[in-house]
Amino acid sequence: MNQQYKQDYPAVGPSLARAEAGLCFAHCLSTGKRAAAFHGPKGSIPNLRGDAAIASLPSPIALYKARLRQDGLSLIACVFGFLAFAILAFVSIELTRGDGRIAVVWLPNALAVSILLRMQFRNERLLLAALLAGNITANLFVGDTLATALILSSANMTEIVIALWLVRKFASPHPTMEDTRDLVVFVLGAGLVAPLVSATVASLALAGAGNASFSGVLQWAAADALSMVIIAPAVLVLWDALSSPRLPTRRESLEWAALTVLGTSVTLIVFLQTSYPLLFLVPPIIISHAFRLGALGTAFSVFKVATIAVLATQMGYGPINLLPMPLHSQLIVLEAFLASSVLVGFPVAAVLSTRERLTKEIINSRKHLALLAQNITDAILRYDLHGVCTYASPSVSRVLGAPPEEFVGMTTGERVHPEAREEVARAEESLLSGKSRSERFTYRRFLDSEDGSPVYIEADCALAFDHATGEREGIVVSARDVTERVELEGKLKRAMRHAENAARAKAQFLANMSHEIRTPMNGVLGFADLLARMELNPEAERYADLIARSGRSMMMLLNDILDISKIESGQLVINYETFDLPRLIEDCVRLHMAGAERKGIELGASCPEDISARIQSDPLRLRQVLLNLIGNAVKFTETGAVTVSVLQEGPRLAISVEDSGIGIDPKRLDRIFDPFIQEEASTTRRFGGTGLGLSISRQLAELLGGSLMVDSMPGVGSRFTLRIPLQEVDPELDEPGIEERRAGNRLAAPPSASLLLAEDHDVNRMLVTAMLEQLGQRVTVAHDGSEAVKMALDAAESEAPFDLVLMDIQMPGCDGYTATRTIRSHGVGLSQLPIIALTANAFPEDIAAALEAGMQGHLAKPLVFEELTAVLARWLPVRIVPEERGSLPPTPSSTPARKPSGELLERWNARRSEALAAVTAAVEQDILEGVHIEELARTIHKLAGTAGMFGEEALGEKAAALERALRSGVEPIVRKKLAEELLATA
């Protein structure tokens, strides 16, 4: 108990636990109940917490007084018990024992058990000791020896204790004679078992006195049992009535008066005459009291009959005196008669009381169910196992639009809207077949609303089981109107479709705008590039450079907008490859060196030697992030320096760009990475830009598996730190990345060839033609896709076919994809005529679409001389050039290369065979999608990275194209086509 107080009231301490006993004693004093009744759960004091508990505790003086008062009451109870038991025992022995020692009527035990079942004493054992002392005193007064008195008294105490234990154990601590179970337990325990045990103990004393006999034992047991059955139930009932008194109604008063007069009159007639055995008239009187007046009336009737019968029998009247036997035998017969009357009356009263209680509970339950059914918002229906409705609540009218009577007797398939019939049948079949125990679904109601709009219902269906047998009884359905929710869900779905359509429209718009902007910019940058290659005076050269720089700035802004759009739509793909980190950082710094020198600031980079030079990541996206960070640092720094540093932090690589520029207000650091946000509005006007660079950089960092953080102080400078996973490369398995291979494999000016240019835009036609002619190519122009198809097919059938086609994608009428498919469908294959796509869109899906259509390469606008030269050099040698066209000029790829060692060549052949076998298996088993893609892509990546080193550039390009297709999520048919081309090239 103390531990409980320590847990519940730690602030109170042990004093509160010590005070508990005093509180319980004071409560017992005021209520007459023992302390346990005062306790709440786990012995805690209810409604006492913290300081309030301390304030409400009585003072030590009050506790002391309460204990003294309670001890005084206990002493009084013991004294009263001693005297009462002694007097009742003496009277019972002297008046009813006759010539023997055993009393025929034994009242003390029955009264003691009754009182102890109703009053709870703090120390019950002390009271039992007082009763024992009273019994011994009475026995001594009637002439027993001390030993006999002690044994007989012990037998009585044994009977009392056993009776109390059995009743409390198997009935209840507070049994009621109106409960059938309590009554049966009391009669068997207190009226049979306890008296038999007591008689056995008493026989030991009687044997010592020489009076032991089997009849004596039976007389003892009968006297105690009959007294216990007659006296105790009546006392318990009268006690309960006096404890909770109530005024009877007028009707009850009349019934009490009538039955009392009738019962008294009949009892007097029976027991005030000695001529006729009229005992059979008494049980109907007791039963009539049980039927009309309940247990209390039965107890009253028993007391009345017992009093009249005992007095009349002792006076020599009544049917009992017709028996020629001694008085004590007549009293035993009378007791048996009264006990039988009790056993007839009280069970009837208990059964009637139980029936009345259950009837009231049923009535109240029905009232509650009716109240619930009338006020519940859901419609409740019950169906039997045959699908027939057996009950429908009143709320059915409001929810389902028809009165309950129209549903009762109908099956589940009736009154169901055609749209809902299949769903209702499915739920019913699932429940009745045992597949599920409950179902929930939403369906359209059979009756539409008054305005003709549909009403939707959500139904919860569950199996109903019999509580007794556990067998299925039917299905209970709880239905509610969810039309508003369904309409809201419909609006939400439409809003989502609109949002998706808007997103697609946005993406399409950006793609179109990209094409529309890149097309004129292609002309601007291309002609500026051509102009710069001419011999110009210094002023014209400066103007051409300004045009080119302005165009490139415009393209950078456009690329930022397209990148943020691709990132938000999840279309941006990260391509991992091996590259040289110090070289990439050096290139980024070199690109911004001119701007830094113009502003007079220092720009440098440092990369510790202990950091691996070659790592795996996406060099294109890493370059984009670093260029943006370095560009911002140079832009926002007027004096001082910009430093790029690299540091290894465990499994991550930290690349920091630190400047001494204007810095960022700490309040705006959290928003600096939001799109279109700059340090302040004036920054845009002063320095320019879209405010997208940092947002794109952070999102690219996250796509690379890293993060981008910033530390800054206004007027001091900023430090942006990019952290990415460090994936070092094994030197023995090192292989160049795609960007490095492209840089290393660039060819010199290609040989002169015959080219077909399909371009609908006049400026672009002029630009591309001029660029090609500067590269020594002969150009034929087609103005749209249809014309390109005709010219390509005609040339293929002639003696002067084209060596290559540059095909624009977006052309009116017949686009580049359709034109290419048409050319390929007429048997003009790759080996005969390579086709290169010209488009403003450079998304992976655009490249994949070009390859699917039958093209071999892709050039993004605006065109750059180096990229155009590389494509021509890559694809023009595919055809065998006639001798009259002249010999090819020397190219970097035609110069003698160092022959690989035998070990490296052997390793290359093994890797080549492994990769080709993996691709072949993937094509044959059709597993170019799913969980196997990443493993296949890694295998092909190794092939693409090393093919060029062994003179198989074409194989490397095919492998790189297939790797990009696997990682970019293009259609399986495109992957399969690229895989077949790779195998054909090998």
266 & 387 share domain: no
105 & 211 share domain: yes
Residue 279 in domain: yes
What mean pLDDT is predicted for residues 86-96? 83
Q: Which of 739, 765, 786 is the last residue of a domain?
A: 739
475 & 402 share domain: yes
Domain count, the chain: 7
Q: What is the CA radius of gyration of the chain?
A: 54
Contact (CB, 8 A) for 612 and 729: yes
Residue 533 in domain: no
| Pairwise CA distance, residues 953 & 745, whole Å | 8
pLDDT bin (cut points 50, 70, 90) of residue 361 is confident
Residue 535 in domain: no
Tell me, what's the pLDDT at 413?
81
Residue 886 in domain: no
405 & 433 share domain: yes
**What b/e string do you get for 658-679 counting C-beta neighbours within 10 Å, with b at 16 or more?**
bbbbbbbeeeeeeebbebebbb
Write 585-588 long-range contacts (CB < 8 A, 24+): 585/626, 585/644, 585/646, 585/655, 587/623, 588/623, 588/626, 588/627, 588/630, 588/644
Give residue 907's domain range: 902-985
Question: Which one, of 203, 112, 206, 208, lies nearest residue 160 by Cα?
Answer: 112
What mean pLDDT is predicted for residues 644-657? 90
CATH number of the domain within which 402 lies: 3.30.450.20
Cβ atoms < 10 Å from Cβ of 23: 20
599 & 725 share domain: yes
704 & 780 share domain: no
Tell me, what's the pLDDT at 680?
45
More confident residue, 241 or 793: 793
666 & 604 share domain: yes
| Pairwise CA distance, residues 329 & 219, whole Å | 10
Residue 548 in domain: no
Residue 261 in domain: yes
Contacts of 421 (CB under 8 A, 6+ apart): 413
Contact (CB, 8 A) for 811 and 782: no
732 & 589 share domain: yes
Residue 791 in domain: yes
157 & 120 share domain: yes
303 & 428 share domain: no
Rounded to 10 deg, the angle between the 933-946 and 953-968 helix axes is 150
What percent of the chain has a predicted confidence (pLDDT) above 70? Answer: 76
Contact (CB, 8 A) for 747 and 893: yes
| Pairwise CA distance, residues 37 & 120, whole Å | 10
Q: At residue 208, does pLDDT exceed 70?
A: no
Residue 124 in domain: yes
Tell me, what's the pLDDT at 984?
80
771 & 847 share domain: yes
pLDDT tens column, 710-728? 998 888 889 999 999 887 6
Q: Which of 707, 739, 771 is the last residue of a domain?
A: 739
| Pairwise CA distance, residues 761 & 752, whole Å | 25
CATH number of the domain within which 728 lies: 3.30.565.10
Tell me, what's the pLDDT at 742?
44
Choose the weakest-confidence range: 30-39, 530-539, 587-596, 795-804: 30-39
Choose the weakest-confidence range: 29-33, 211-215, 352-356, 401-405: 29-33
91 & 223 share domain: yes
Q: Which of 434, 462, 481 is the last residue of a domain?
A: 481
More confident residue, 13 or 213: 213
List residues bridging with 538 in a β-sheet.
none
| Pairwise CA distance, residues 888 & 436, whole Å | 79
What mean pLDDT is predicted for residues 906-910? 70
pTM of the full predicted structure?
0.42
Q: Rounded to an integer, what is the distance from CA 756 to the centroid of its chain?
A: 63
CATH number of the domain within which 794 lies: 3.40.50.2300
| 614-617/602-606 β-pairing | unpaired
What mean pLDDT is predicted for residues 122-146? 88
pLDDT tens column, 577-622? 888 888 888 888 887 887 888 888 999 998 887 776 678 888 878 8
More confident residue, 918 or 529: 918
Phi, psi angles (nearest 5°) of residue 782: -115, 135
Burial-class residue 767 by CB neighbours within 10 Å (0-12, 13-18, 19+).
Answer: buried
